[in-house]
Amino acid sequence: MSNPAIKTSLNNDVAIYPLKPHGHPLMGVASPSREEIRAKLLTDKIRHISMADIDALPILNAMSHMAFQARNLARASQIFEAMLRDQQCGIFLCLAGSLISTGLKQIIVEMIDNNMIDCICSTGANIVDQDFFEALGFSHYRGHIDIDDNLLREASIDRIYDTFIDEEELRICDDTIRQITDSLPPKPYSSREFIKHMGQYLVKQNKGQDSIVRKAFEKDIPIFVPAFSDCSAGFGLVHHQFENRGKPMVTLDSARDFLEITEVKLAAGESGIYMIGGGVPKNFVQDTVVAAEVLGKEVNMHKYAVQVTVADVRDGALSSSTLQEACSWGKVSMTYEQMVYCEASLAVPLISAYGLQSGAAKGRQARRFAKLFKD
């Protein structure tokens, strides 16, 4: 006998379906066709959570009197509030992991709308495969972890944990990057400059009004993706370079990325970092302090730092390294820093909504760091 879905106080469309055996929509369908698989699995879109869905102050107040990660989460939120209230402080947002596909896009867009961040440093997947992809009109779908991945392969559906993506649409995203690349004068670009052209493309095409790439472009917030080829953008760039071998072509200059983001740190003066996940973006932004010193400039360490991560400190890797450890390298001041060991989809809506709902962002001036660059 099959188990029925259980209705709860949440909307009926998110009722609890039995996970095992095979609670997914292909349950009981014998040898489904490719079209059947796609029709049944690519239907239930990920909806992005908004700060308006959250009443952050009471929950974080309560958590501040608890222990473990609840208390760390509350302290991280207070540090985010402090960086927002500090009128001298430029705020860097670092993104790693699959954050946009998870439903966190709107939170980041709302931070842009409310002048809560001044510079973004991200992995390529968040900016290209996920945000720009949705800006083109495509969606991520609520998926299932107990599905047969061979069936997904046959139906051109990609899986990120419990999220599905239509690979045919992802190919269109890759090809759109190729088209943008082909349209640019052949020369080296920083990822920031290239992503600015992606923003311009969306404006011209009248697409992606609610996307990070377009919003950041319109508010002069530079976006850096130091490993730009390691995502959907890479396929478009590979195609462009293959077709233009032996001729002038578009290339990416990651050293220029480092120089430019260091220039942002120099212009920011005091700085704070809101790190979601770890990886390359975490190190790249932290290293701007050291790079400025190498250039003979006097800069303060990052004054405020918050990191949300699931990384385990025992591996000794950068993603897991504590912010105290970063102090030994001269990157992050130890006074206002907090690690939160929590998966981002849980912690980020709360920290971000607290930042806004505390009133700390009211009257905060947009720093418009993209204007530092004259291209």
Ligand X SMILES: NC(=O)c1ccc[n+]([C@@H]2O[C@H](COP(=O)([O-])OP(=O)(O)OC[C@H]3O[C@@H](n4cnc5c(N)ncnc54)[C@H](O)[C@@H]3O)[C@@H](O)[C@H]2O)c1
Chain contacts with ligand X (rule: CB under 6 A): 96-98, 123-125, 129, 160, 227, 230-231, 277-279, 308-311, 319, 343-344
Q: CB 318 → ligand X: shortest distance, Å?
A: 8
> CB within 8 A of 175, min separation 6: which ones?
236, 239
Smallest gap from residue 29 Cβ to ligand X (A): 28
Nearest-approach distance from CB 159 to ligand X, in angstroms? 10
3-state secondary structure of 171: helix
- Cβ count within 10 A of residue 209: 12
Q: Give the tokens for residue 310.
A: 């699931």
Minimum CB separation of residue 236 from ligand X in Å reads: 13
Smallest distance, ligand X to C-beta of residue 139, A: 15
* Alpha-carbon torsion angle 112, 264, 335, 283, nearest 10: 90
Reading the block at residue 289, the tokens are 């302090």
Which residue's CB is nearer to ligand X, number 182 or number 230? Answer: 230
CB of residue 264 vs ligand X: minimum separation in angstroms? 21
| C-beta closer to ligand X: residue 103 or 361 | 103
Catalytic option among 204, 219, 331, 371:
331
**Distance set, CA 169 to CA 35, 181, 362, 371 (Å):** 15, 19, 39, 33
C-beta of 319 vs 357, nearer to ligand X = 319
For ligand X, give the closer residue by CB, 271 or 283: 283
User: Is the separation of the CB atoms in 131 and 211 below 8 Å?
Assistant: yes
In the residue annotation, 374 being an active-site residue is answered as: no
Q: 129 or 193: whose CB is closer to ligand X?
A: 129
Minimum distance from CB of 368 to ligand X (Å)? 26
Q: If DSSP states are collapsed to H, E and C, what string results for 347-364?
A: HHHHHHHHHHHCCCCCCC
- Phi-psi domain of 58 (left: phi exceeds 0; alpha: psi -120 through 50; beta: other): alpha
**Whether residue 21 has a cis bond before it, omega within 30° of 0:** yes
Give the contacts of 202 (CB within 8 A, at least 6 positions apart): 132, 135, 208, 211, 213, 214, 217
| Preceding peptide of 222 cis, ω within 30° | no
Please check whether residue 295 is in contact with residue 262, taking contact to mean a CB–CB distance below 8 angstroms: yes
Q: Does residue 98 contact residue 129 with C-beta atoms inside 8 Å? A: no
For ligand X, the closer of residues 208 and 234 by Cβ is 234
Q: Is residue 56 within 8 Å of 77, Cβ to Cβ?
A: yes
Q: Is 293 helix (H, G, I), strand (E, B) or coil?
A: helix
Q: What is the DSSP letter of 372?
A: G
Cα atoms in the Cβ-side hemisphere of radius 13 Å centred on 202: 26
CB of 140 vs ligand X, minimal distance in Å? 10
| Nearer of residues 108 and 299 to ligand X, judged by Cβ | 108
Question: What is the number of the residue whose Cβ is closest to ligand X?
Answer: 97
Identity of residue 116: M
* Between 46 and 361, CB nearer to ligand X: 46
Question: Got the DSSP string for 18-45?
Answer: --TTT-STTTT-SS--HHHHHHHHS-SB
As annotated, the active-site residues are 331
